[in-house]
Amino acid sequence: MRWGSEHALRCEVEDTDGGTASLRPGRAREYDETGRALHLVEQLACCWGSARTARGKAVWFELSVRPAHAAA
């Protein structure tokens, strides 16, 4: 995790698999234990995507953050 910009926290996960990342949120059934991660990312992130890297690929997302207000 790192600051992507002044108002966004960026999370990036990289692996050495040379395949392309599937960026389509799955459809998990009620009792499935997998298939919800990208749906959550899609709902919470201000932007997200994937990129090829020198070692494989990376999937990333950014969360909008607002500066904390000082207590009065």
What's the domain count of the chain?
Answer: 1
pLDDT digits (tens), the chain, 72 positions: 777 677 889 999 888 877 766 677 667 778 877 777 778 888 899 999 888 888 888 889 999 987 666 555
Look at residue 60 and tell me if it is in a domain.
Answer: yes
Q: Residue 9's closest CA among 64, 66, 69, 68?
A: 64
Domain range for 41 is: 1-17+34-66
Collect all residues with Cβ–Cβ distance below 8 Å to 34 and sequence separation of at least 6: 26, 28
Give domain status of residue 61, yes or no: yes
Rounded to two decimals, the pTM is: 0.67
**Residue 4, in any domain of the structure:** yes
